[in-house]
Every structure is written in structure tokens, then in C-alpha cells.
Structure 1
């Protein structure tokens, strides 16, 4: 049977219309009713308190989540799980020094490096494993800081991350408070450390992540009773006969975390392996099934080893056997880093996300095709849908999405991020966003905003599965649990992610964590009818104690 040209054209036209309808369908990604109640609310509440709120997956009377699997109870177990899941797969990606190209290393190779550095570290320092000895990491987020941190987890030392590279005063205070005998330092931070050594008498061994160390630098260190060793040489020296792991227990201290962005030293937050594994578990448990991390995922994160969120984000990726990108460290290179490494998960601070939005809007925002495509995608977003398969994604938005490498399907950030930026990421780029709220004292997480909640409401999301929250009346502020339409008060948090305490400050610990295990955040909040938390302000000056989340780190400035 012959088919004339008109029939063919009609068939093509009908197919195009059907495709347009299918690709531009506006059914929401989640039923709206599921967003109307995002938490489990206890039926009873104490006097002067709101009801206790939990994740919907953890009803009242059940245990809060602590571990992802029974065999994964420490950060060392997290590494072992990733190694077993993807031993020959890519683990780390980092830039070659003075070259703008990335190289990758497998889990097997990185495992040998961890054992090699840990063994060399023990041989050079003569420090005994699993004695909870504090060791400094005064380096940006890099392959060396990652290797060092994993080695400390493997052999039972305590990581003390320091990511401020400007203030000798803060460095001296942290060193003297922890009495650390050894420190891993970046090349650019070495001069400041050497200037501070006269006031840091406990430091005896300095491991420098550098190709070159001058004789003058070695001489200055020796004047103050310290040795300088190259990180790579120590790693190599221990790699031939690496020591067996000295496995930590969940209750062992993994990290003492300081927020060194403030102008004065904050309290050292003592976090155990159990705390950090619980935080990681709480976060991964809030991911929908289709968005769970796998060995095919790749994380590019701007949260450094000094940010607790950086620790559990990296741990979540390692546990799945995925790969980790260490970015170049310059704000102007953020988009190039993404294009060179094609991450699937992009974790960054609100400020960096807002700068990306500004840069892309400047480049593409004036184009008529972009304006039409973006308006149509905003309409889909208002209807509850984030997608990369509408016709508009192919017509006007493909290049915009490619600027983050083209494969990112999830952005993880902290609160608050500008609504305009969140809209842009979801609509123009077709990427889901999860925003979290946390404190250093809660291992960097308390709540997480539902991935499918695209509203402009200023809430912080509902509790994650590792902790529960409630509000305590504050008569001075006139915030009470009986306030309408929402209870208000000081935010209290309890769960296995809550810190062990403040380092060598028992009185401060007792003031912050009450006899029932509730951590008093010093921040006001309200609990919305749908179970989400909204932040109202600070009850007292806690800026120096708050989890480092929003500010742009020194290494990510221009």
C-alpha cells in the first residue's frame, strides 16, 4: 500500500504533539498530601515543651537510626565497605600540581596509600595507635587530607581539622588546647605554621603535602624542636609493610572539630565514630530510593575536612563505593572543575551556589530562547515537577545544564539558600536539591528538606532519622509551645549524632546537654503544621559554635 506525503506529514505531526504532551506533562513528582505531614509527632508532650518530632520513618517508641548496616559501625568500617563494593573502581580524582587536568585512583590503590601513610606516620612519630591522640590536619580538602584522615580512623588517632589558613592566633590556641604532637600541613600553610611554632611547643613532627621543602624551613622547624617530613615520602616508606588496622570502636573519638572562621576560638566539639556514622545514616536515609548513592556516583564537594557535613557526605559516597573529586580550590574554576570531572552529586555552600546562579544568568539570561524555556520550566516546577526530559531541556537549556558537567542529578547544600537560586537549579538545570540544617554539636545535621518540596517556604525540613527535636519555652522571648499557629521556643536535639561533649570543658558540656540527653542549640525555632522546622534566630551568641556551613572558605575565594 502506498503512503502519500500528506499522510507521512500528519503522522509526524501527531507523533510530535504526543511527544510534547508526554515530555511536558505536569504531574507532580510526589503527591502533595505526602508533603502535608513530613514528621512523626509524639502524642504527648512535657510541660513547657512542644511535642517531640521525628522522621516519618522513625515513629515514636522505635529506636532512632544509628548505622546503615550492622557491620558498618565506625568510619573505618565505612571505608572497608566501599573497598569491598568497588575495589578496582575509581575512588579519588584530583588535579595534578600546576596542571589543569585530573587524575584518578582506584579503591585498591588508595587503600594501600592509607595503610602506607598510617604505618609511616606511626614509625616517625612513635605514637601508639588507638590512644585517642589528637593529630592536626592543617590542609585544604585534598587527596592528602583525605588519606591522612582515613589513616587516623584506621589506626585510632583523633583528627583535628583546621581549615583557616590566615590566623596564627587560632592555630596556636587549638594546638595548645589539644597538645597535638604531629600535624599534616599544606605547603601554602607551612609558613604560618613555622611562624607559630615558638608558641606551639607540643608539635614535634610536621608532615608537609608538598614536592619541595627548603632547608631554611627545616632549620626553622628544628630550632623549635620539630622535624619536617614530606607526606609522599612517609607514605612510600610505610607502604612496603603496612601495619594491620587497629580497629576503632564506635565510642572512640574520631574528630575534635573547631570552627576556625571566627575571630576567637570556639569550643572543640568531640565527635565519636558513632556520632558521625549516625549523621551519615540519617542523611542517606532521607534520600529517596532512586537517589541513593551507588558506585556509579561521583561527588564534587566544596565542604572541606573542617566541615562536619564534608565528613558525612564523603563517608556516604565512600560507603557506596563511589568516587570523590577534590576541586581545584578557586571560585573562578568551579564550573571548569565540574566540566572536567562530570560529577553526579554536587555539594556546595549557599554562597557558591548563588555565585554559580549569578554567573550563568549573566551568560544566558538575556537570550530569548532561554527566557521562553525557563518560563516554561518554572511552570512545570510550580506544578511540582523537576525534569531534564521536557522539550525545553532540548531546545533552550541543554548548555546551561552542561556547565555543571551535564550529569549532576542532586545538589546538596545548607540553609539558607536564596529561593531564586533554588528555582534556577531545579528549573533551568533540572536538578533536585536537598538542603540540610545542622550544628557541629549534632555532627552537622538535624533536619533535611524533602527533595520533592519545591515550595518557597523558609522551613529547614523535617528531622532526619538519627535524631528527634522539640522546642522549649522561652518566657523572656515570649515563645511558647502554645503559640498559634505554630509552637515556638528553643530548638533541642537528641540522638546518636549528638556530640560526646566539648573538649576538656565539662562545665560547658553539662550546660549544653541536659540530663535527658537533649542538646540545647541556643537557637529559636517554630514547628510548622506539616512537621517541618523553621529557624527564628539565635537565643544567645553561638556564632562561634555553629556548624561551618555557609561562608566561602579561603581556598574557594578568587
Structure 2
């Protein structure tokens, strides 16, 4: 009996020791040497320029990545791959009729809806595919806008997401430039569109994502020669009269994005299927092998239709058969949406992440137990470890993690997000953060910070695999590639994700993209010795200069 008791005591002691080691893990998640050199750089440089930097995964002798495989060349191909990978798996989650109830749909169900809407759209509008016809999407990021975009990819139309939903002048300017004949709206955006129809006379079909259209609204549209039709009506009518797919080519324009403002002129960025597939591939390749998206992942995104990075992330998830969550769109419901849907990938703008940080800190940050736990987790972070299995996660931080649904493993955000917010997410919530920098003209992503880089440095990582960057001297601002301790200058980007050009603005296109294919971002950067990029701000304009249309 003494032997048995001693054995039991030793077993308990060993278990406690193993648990203690696990709970107090201090080994870094990745060896520091792997973070000391994060990009490949050319051995030589031109006068007035830095060396050219590209992803560590792309050797200098190789071509930049364009697509994940020979079969995936367009966004139409991306959906077909996801459908084949997980036909009966969950595809979409969305709030039903603005109530706190989320509905699930499988890939097969959503595919039928896409076919139905696309066929119904063709019949209702009389528009012909394969003519690069632009169609407006004047809605928040929602299941309807997603289905519409997928239908446009399927029938070779060009989507025009109008991200500013409250600016009448912006709406009129976009419609007048693109000569939209059809547009998708919600019941909230419909009134402003009806007010603008006199100046938007090209619009003949208004598709309403909602359950009610009033007789007064129908009459107001008819007064300007436009008709109103419900989104769901097109879905159902198209199912009874399906139209064969008219697949796009990689070089076809998929989107004209007006999420770019320059003085008083709005510039529509033309992005081809090849551009968007390249950006998706670059983002996907920036994730470490064990952390890449899988069919088990669920993405909750707070980006708008005008944020192209949302297309890259959604496409990367669709490609492997993962699922998407469409939120209520209300700031007050951000945490509720996460708790109700339990996402594994949480993508959000800096403003929303900072609001979440403030709200959680206000609710939990004053307690002594939280302060001790947070201090301990920050010490682990400084040692290179992000974890949810430390002793402090069980004692003082479990409830906070549940506020984002309890399953988030990656947060994706953009420049500029406050350093203290990033620290809070990594330490208090135990999630890894991917910070990105991009432009609409580069299909949303230029660089991506390693999710294992927990330093307080302000850099935004190295180039993704579909593009390369360099800095050129900026005489107006006094930034030079020969600056010490690090080269500084205007950020230039080249690769298959760089836009086709600005819509109907050849002079502006020629100014932005030079003969070498380099896009001039108009932003100043600094390249660190480890090959990462910090964005310092916008380039100062020289006096007595104006932009050509």
C-alpha cells in the first residue's frame, strides 16, 4: 500500500509539473532567426531607388505567383472549386430579416441561388453577358451582395461596389461615369437612389434586397423610366428559366472599384479576374502552412463592399470550402454577431477592432485578477508566445475570449491599427493577428505581417507572393533610398495584382503605372533590415501640380 500511495503521489506530482510547464510555456512560437530576414532582396539597385523586395517564398529567379493552380484562373473558378470541395458543407451564415437569428446555407443551396439570380437578372434587365457591362452594388456587405457578385462572375458582368452609402454626390458621380443600367440596393439605400434618379437617368432596373417595395417607390422610379424588382423575385424566376454560364477570361474586368478618392475626382479602379485571383493567392501564401484556411474555418468580416481585401479573404476561404458570416452591420451588435456565429477568422477594420478593445477593457480591464493575468500574458508575448492554454487563460481571461465567440484563431486587419489594440488581441484574447497594407489599385494587399511577429515595431510585414516592392527617392518630402539607418521613399508596387487601369482615365493610369509596370502608391515607406515595410504617410504633393483626368 505504501508503494501504491507513493506511486500515486509521484504520478500527481509529474502531472502537476507537466501542467505547470504547459501553462508557463515561454518558448517562442517561431525561432527569432526566421523573423530576422522576411523578404528576398535584389543584390543591386538603381540610382535613386532601394533594392527590390519580394516574398521569401518567391526566389528572385522565379516569377511572381499568379494563381493557386492551373485550374484556378478566375473568380468563377474559385467558386466552382469550393463547391466541388464541400458541396454539402456550410457556405453562408446570415441574419434572417434583421432578427437575432442566423440562417445556414450549404454550397449546393447557395449555388442554386447564384444560378437563379444570374438567370433572373438577365431576363429582367435584357443585358447581355460578355460585354463588360457594369452593374452597381449599392448595399452593405451582405449575402445578397455576395450572391450578386458571384452571379456577375458567372455571367461575365462587371460589379461596381459603391462603398459610400450616404453620399448622394458620390453616388451620382459613379453612376454618371459608368453609365449603370442596373443597380442593386437595400430598403435603406433605395430612398437616396430614388432622390438621385434625375441625375442617374441611365439606370433602368433597380433590384431591391428586401421584402417590401411601396407603391410610392414604384411610381417614383417609373417617373424616371426605371422599374423596381425584388432580389428574391429574380432568384425564383431564374430557377425556372436557367441560362448557361458565360465564363469570363482572366483578362476580363471583374470589378470597377470606387474606393479611391483623389481631390474632387473619383477614380474607378479596374480589376480583372487575374488581378483578384493573384491577390487571393498572395494573401493565402502569406499564411504559414499549418495556419492556412481550411474547410472548417468560418470568416466573419466587417469590411465593406469597397474594401478589396474582403474579396481576397472570402475567395481564399471559398477555395477550400469554408463558410462566410454576414453580420447585422450595426456597431452595437459586433460582439453579439461574433458570439452568435463563433467565427475562426475575424476580419475587421482598425476602427472596429479599437472599439472592441475599448469595450472589453471598460468591462473587464479594472479587475485586479484581469490586470495580473494580462501582465502575465504580455510577458509571454514579449517572450514570443501567443497562447490560450496558460494558467492565466483559465483564471482571468476565459470570459473575454468568449466575447468573440471563443473560436477565433486569426484576426486580419489593415493599416493603421493601434499598437495597443494589437497587443490586447494577442495577449488578452490569445489570437494571432495578421496586419496588412494594400491599395485598391493592387487588389487590396501589398504586404502582410507575419502572424508570429509580436514585436512592437510599426512595420506591416513583407510583400505577399504576387507582388514586389521598391522605394524611390521623393525629392519633395526629402526621403531618399540612401537614408540612414534605413532606406526611405515612395512605395512602388509591381506584379499581377496591379490594376488594369483607371476607368476611362488613360492619363491618370499612365501617371500611376509607369512603363515598367510599377504602380506609384503616393505613400512614403521605410524598409527595415529584416525586409519589412513601414508606411510613414502620404507623399507631399509638389507645388503647382495638378492631376490629369
Q: Post-superposition shift, 1:455? A: 0.4
Change (3 A) 1:3 1:367: farther
**Equivalent residue for 1:454?**
454
Q: How does 1:336-347 map to 2 (within 5 A)?
A: 336-347=336-347
Q: How does 1:37-436 map to 2 (within 5 A)?
A: 37-259=37-259, 264-436=264-436
1:197 and 1:268 map into 2 onto residues whose CA distance is 21
After superposition, the CA RMSD in angstroms is: 1.5
Unaligned runs of 5+ in 1: 543-558
Q: Deviations over 1:430-469 (max 9, x none)?
A: 1000000000101111000011000010111111100000
1:82 and 1:498 map into 2 onto residues whose CA distance is 25
**Equivalent residue for 2:24?**
24
CA contact (8 A) 2:343 2:405 kept: yes
Matched, 1:12 2:15: no
Q: Deviations over 1:385-433 (max 9, x none)?
A: 0111111111211111111000000000001211111111111111000
Q: Deviations over 1:498-523 (max 9, x none)?
A: 00000000000001100010001111
Name the TM-score, length of structure 1 as normaliser. Answer: 0.95
Worse-matched range after superposition: 167-176 or 468-477: 468-477
Q: Post-superposition shift, 1:3? A: 5.3
1:263 and 1:204 map into 2 onto residues whose CA distance is 30
2:16 and 2:264 map into 1 onto residues whose CA distance is 63
1:291 and 1:185 map into 2 onto residues whose CA distance is 37
CA contact (8 A) 1:412 1:435 kept: yes
CA contact (8 A) 1:91 1:322 kept: yes
1:109 and 1:464 map into 2 onto residues whose CA distance is 34
SS in 2 for 1:459: coil
2:182 and 2:460 map into 1 onto residues whose CA distance is 39
SS in 2 for 1:61: coil
2:299 and 2:451 map into 1 onto residues whose CA distance is 18
1:192 and 1:514 map into 2 onto residues whose CA distance is 39
Change (3 A) 1:103 1:150: same
2:489 and 2:72 map into 1 onto residues whose CA distance is 36
SS in 1 for 2:197: helix
2:448 and 2:463 map into 1 onto residues whose CA distance is 6
SS in 2 for 1:199: coil
SS in 2 for 1:271: strand
SS in 2 for 1:436: strand
CA contact (8 A) 1:136 1:160 kept: yes
**Equivalent residue for 1:545?**
none
2:398 and 2:131 map into 1 onto residues whose CA distance is 53
Q: Post-superposition shift, 1:5? A: 6.1
Unaligned runs of 5+ in 2: 543-549
Q: Post-superposition shift, 1:371? A: 1.5
1:275 and 1:172 map into 2 onto residues whose CA distance is 27
Q: Post-superposition shift, 1:311? A: 1.1
Q: Which runs of 4+ in 1 moved over 3 A?
A: 1-11, 260-265
CA contact (8 A) 1:206 1:228 kept: yes
CA contact (8 A) 1:170 1:265 kept: no
CA contact (8 A) 2:132 2:252 kept: yes
CA contact (8 A) 1:170 1:260 kept: no
CA contact (8 A) 1:50 1:470 kept: yes
1:541 and 1:15 map into 2 onto residues whose CA distance is 65
CA contact (8 A) 2:54 2:462 kept: yes
